[in-house]
Amino acid sequence: MKKIYLIRHGETYYNQFGLVQGSGIDSELNESGWLQARAFYNAYKHISFDKIYTSALKRTHQTVWDFISRGIPWQQLVGLNEMGWGHREGRAITHNDDIEYQKILAAWRNGDMHVKPEGGESPLDVLNRQKLALQHILQNDEESTILICMHGRAMRVFLCLLLDVPLREMDSFQHSNTCVYILNYSIDGNFSIEQANDTSHLARVEREVLVSLG
C-alpha cells in the first residue's frame, strides 16, 4: 500500500496576471502563493511523509519547502514538469491564442492526443515522461506515504495515468493552487481517490486576507 498526497503548486505572479507558464518558465510564488503554501503545511504537517517528489521547477519546491526544510528526503523529477506550451510561454493570451487553444482543447476532447501547441508538448508527450517518473516512484517500497507537488495541466494528465482514465477526459479533474488529491495505491496495482481537489486548508488564508482588507 502507498498513500500519495498530490498537490498543485501555489499561486505565482504568472497565475495572478494571466500569463502562460509551462515547463519553460521557472517562476516563483507570489505573496498569495507563499500564504497558500504555509496553509497547506499547517494543515498537513502532522503527516509523516517518507519522501517528497516535485518537478524541477521552483514553484513546486517553494510550495512544499516547509516540509523539505524538516529534512524529509526530496527528489526532483523532470517527468513531473508542467506541459510545454511552446511559443505561448511567458506572455499574456491574445485573442488569436485563445482561438488556437480552444481548437487544441477540442482536439484533445475528441481523442487526438498528438495535437500540441506550436513548439510545445502534446498530452502523449507529457504522459510518456510521467510514466517513467511514476515507475521510479513506485519502485521504492519503503516509501509508503508520499507528497508530490506538480502543475495544473500536468496534474490532469498524471491523474489519468494513475486512475487509468482516458486522456480525453483529463479536464474532468478540477484543480486550483495548492489543491490536494489523496490517492491510495493497493497491492493489486490500482489507484483510487480518497480525496479530490480539496482546498479546505485555504479557508484560513481567505479569512486573513479579508481581515487585512477590513
**Segment 32-58, tens digit of pLDDT:** 999 999 999 999 999 999 999 999 999
Contact assessment for residue 85 and residue 14, using Cβ atoms and an 8 Å cutoff: no
What pLDDT is attached to residue 189? Answer: 87
Asked if pLDDT for residue 207 goes beyond 70, the answer is no
CA–CA gap between residue 6 and residue 54 (Å, rounded): 10
The percentage of the chain sitting over the pLDDT mark of 90, rounded to a whole number, equals 86
**Strand order across the 2-8 sheet:** 74-76, 51-54, 145-150, 2-8, 180-185, 191-198
Query: Where do the H-state alpha helices sit in the chain?
Result: 13-16, 31-44, 58-63, 65-68, 95-109, 123-138, 152-163, 203-213
- Please name which of 45, 6, 39 lies closest in space to residue 149, comparing C-alpha atoms: 6
Angle at 84 between CA 83 and CA 88, to 5 degrees: 125
Mean pLDDT of 181-203: 94
DSSP 124: H
Return the CATH number at 117: 3.40.50.1240
Torsion sign across C-alpha atoms 9, 10, 12, 14: positive
Structural domains of the chain, count: 1
* 57-80 pLDDT tens trace: 999 999 999 999 999 999 999 999
Q: What pLDDT does 212 receive?
A: 47
Q: Which residue has the higher pLDDT, 207 or 28?
A: 28
**Range scoring the smallest mean pLDDT among 40-44, 109-113, 206-210:** 206-210
C-alpha cell at 132: 517513467
Mean residue pLDDT of the chain comes to 93
Instruction: Say if residue 211's pLDDT is above 70.
Output: no
**Quick one: average pLDDT of 85-104?**
90
Q: What is residue 206's predicted lDDT score, i.e. its pLDDT? A: 60
User: What's the pLDDT score for residue 208?
Assistant: 56
Q: Who has greater pLDDT, 114 or 93?
A: 114
Tell me, what's the pLDDT at 205? 66
- State mean pLDDT over 119-144: 95
Q: Which of 92-96, 133-137, 151-155, 208-212 has the lowest mean pLDDT?
A: 208-212
DSSP 6: E
Domain that holds residue 42: 2-213
**For range 149-175, the mean pLDDT:** 97
| The C-alpha cell that represents 181 in the structure block | 488529491
Average pLDDT over residues 136-143: 92
3-class secondary-structure state, position 54: strand
